[in-house]
């Protein structure tokens, strides 16, 4: 993630979508947590957080999906700020403004991305550093996806999502189209209805994919093990996948995470941009975004 400072008193941090290119559910622990094996990338859309100094902790939410968060008494960003301040021995003082562009409960880790970006932005705002161990502990306390959102690059995630290793090198300018039919999905509900929980892990991963086609070919032999359960809860996901697959430039379409957001993989960000324009025109009630894989 790159922090920008267009004005001396305002820091701006992007919080990009977390996209599961493949998500294999490999088991369930005694404590109820499911284990997984997933290839994760970031991009296609993002929230944006503005940071300013303040004498108290305040969060304002703007943007197209702000209404779904304004009534939250314990927003994940606020929890992140308090936990970090406690670890650093500081008072939690900051004026945060979240531009909420990512749909809520949509399988692309919006809340986790916001929490991770909050931690990174507050380091800069408060002019502090922290060791990797305590930071990882804070992130994991906030949620299993937060540590990977801190990394913000192609990762292979296993365990409950907390065991991370650097993913393969991806082609430059790889494009994503993200589509959500504006249907929220309950992740606990999806796992509750999941029939098979002991599935095979990802296939052998190369150190690099030299082309978008090579990545799409590899992904075609992988899965999202939550996809069928999500379609049972929200059948419109099938329509989204079909719309992406019908686009002539789309190399592969799949649901991300627990849904209902689906991604389309494209050879370049320009191909993704043109496809997003076509899809937004033909499906005006869907949320459609596009961008480069970061």
Q: What tens digit of pLDDT does each residue of 255-273 get? A: 999 999 999 999 999 999 9
Q: Assess whether 135 and 181 both reside in one domain.
A: no
- Read off the pLDDT band of 2 (50, 70, 90): very low
Q: Nearest 5°: phi and psi at 187?
A: -60, -45
- pLDDT band at residue 162, thresholds of 50, 70 and 90? confident
Q: pLDDT at position 181, please?
A: 97
Choose one of 102, 137, 164: the last residue of a domain.
Answer: 164
Task: Quickly count: other Cβ atoms within 10 Å of residue 245's Cβ.
Answer: 14
Residues 280 and 226 in one domain: yes
Closest Cα to residue 30, out of 195, 148, 197, 158?
Answer: 197
Active site residue 192: no
Shared domain for 175 and 139, answered yes or no, is no
| Whether pLDDT at 3 is above 70 | no
Tell whether 173 and 122 lie within a shared domain: no
User: Per-residue pLDDT for 83 more than 60?
Assistant: yes
Residue 284 sits in a domain whose CATH number is: 3.30.70.890
Where do runs of H (alpha helix) occur along the chain? 76-88, 110-126, 132-142, 146-151, 187-193, 212-219, 227-233, 236-246, 269-282
| pLDDT tens digits along 102-160 | 999 899 999 999 999 999 999 999 999 999 899 999 999 999 899 999 999 999 999 99
- Can you name the residues that pair with 58 across neighbouring β-strands? 95
In this predicted structure, the answer to whether residue 9 has a pLDDT above a threshold of 60 is yes
| Distances from the Cα of 230 to the Cα of 152, 176, 285, angstroms | 26, 21, 20
Whole-angstrom Cα distance, residue 212 to residue 214? 5
CATH of the domain at 30: 3.30.230.10
* 72/85 Cα distance (integer angstroms): 21
Token pair listed for 211: 């082309």
**pLDDT tens track for 211-240:** 999 999 999 999 999 999 999 999 999 999
Split into its structural domains, the chain has a count of 2
Write down how long the chain is: 294
Q: How far, in Å, are 4, 23, 91, 134, 254 from residue 130 at the CA level?
A: 21, 31, 16, 7, 37
The tokens for 233 are: 């809860």
Same domain, residue pair 137 and 267: no
For residues 74 and 121, membership in a common domain is answered with yes
Same domain, 127 and 188: no
- What mean pLDDT do residues 83-89 have? 96
CB 271 within 8 A of CB 249: yes
Is pLDDT larger for residue 161 or for residue 42? Answer: 42
Question: Do 69 and 186 fall within a single domain?
Answer: no
The pLDDT score that the predictor gives to residue 209 is: 98
Whole-angstrom distance, CA of residue 83 vs CA of residue 70: 21
pLDDT above 70 as % of the chain: 96
Contact by Cβ (8 Å): 154, 205: no
Which range is least confidently modeled, 134-143, 241-250, 267-276, 284-293?
134-143
Enter the tokens of residue 281: 């025109």
100 is catalytic: no
Which is catalytic among the residues 18, 37, 47, 247?
18
Say if residue 11 is in the same domain as residue 25.
yes
Is 5 a residue whose pLDDT tops 60? no
pLDDT of residue 73: 57
Q: Same domain, yes or no, for 180 and 212?
A: yes
What is the average pLDDT value for the chain, to the nearest integer? 94
Q: Do 48 and 125 reside in the same domain of the chain?
A: yes
pLDDT of residue 127: 95
Last residue of a domain, which of 164, 190, 209? Answer: 164
Are both 195 and 284 inside the same structural domain? yes
Domain end among 164, 193, 219: 164
Sequence-distant (6+) residues with CB within 8 A of 31 are none
Question: Which domain, by its residues, includes 259?
Answer: 168-292
Q: One of 114, 145, 225, 247 is an active-site residue; which one? A: 145
From residue 38, alpha-carbon distances to 154, 156, 166 in Å are 10, 6, 12
Q: Is the pLDDT of residue 1 over 50?
A: no
Beta-strand pair 252-255/262-266: antiparallel
At residue 188, the pLDDT reads 87
CA–CA gap between residue 161 and residue 146 (Å, rounded): 9
């Amino acid at each position: 993630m790159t922090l920008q400072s267009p004005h001396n008193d305002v820091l701006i941090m992007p919080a990009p979508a977390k996209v599961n290119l493949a998500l294999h559910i490999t088991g369930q622990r005694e404590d109820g947590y499911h284990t997984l094996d997933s290839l994760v990338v970031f991009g296609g859309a993002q929230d944006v957080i503005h940071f300013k100094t303040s004498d108290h902790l305040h969060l304002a939410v703007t943007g197209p999906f702000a209404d779904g968060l304004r009534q939250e008494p314990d927003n994940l960003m606020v929890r992140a700020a308090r936990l970090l301040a406690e670890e650093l021995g500081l008072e939690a003082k900051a004026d945060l403004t979240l531009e909420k562009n990512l749909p809520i409960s949509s399988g692309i880790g919006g809340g986790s991305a916001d929490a991770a970006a909050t931690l990174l932005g507050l380091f800069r705002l408060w002019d502090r550093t922290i060791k990797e161990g305590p930071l990882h502990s804070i992130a994991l306390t906030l949620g299993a996806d937060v540590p990977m959102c801190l990394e913000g690059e192609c990762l292979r995630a296993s365990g409950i999502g907390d065991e991370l290793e650097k993913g393969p090198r991806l082609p430059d300018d790889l494009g994503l189209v993200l589509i959500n039919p504006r249907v929220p999905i309950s992740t606990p509900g999806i796992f509750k209805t999941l029939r098979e929980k002991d599935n095979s892990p990802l296939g052998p991963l190369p150190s690099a994919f030299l082309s978008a086609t090579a990545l799409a070919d590899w992904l075609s032999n992988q899965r999202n093990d939550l996809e069928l359960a999500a379609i049972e809860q929200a059948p419109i996901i099938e329509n989204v996948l079909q719309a992406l697959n019908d686009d002539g430039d789309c190399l592969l379409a799949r649901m991300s995470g627990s849904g209902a957001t689906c991604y389309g993989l494209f050879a370049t960000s320009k191909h993704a941009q043109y496809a997003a324009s076509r899809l937004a025109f033909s499906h005006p009630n869907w949320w459609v975004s596009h961008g480069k894989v970061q």
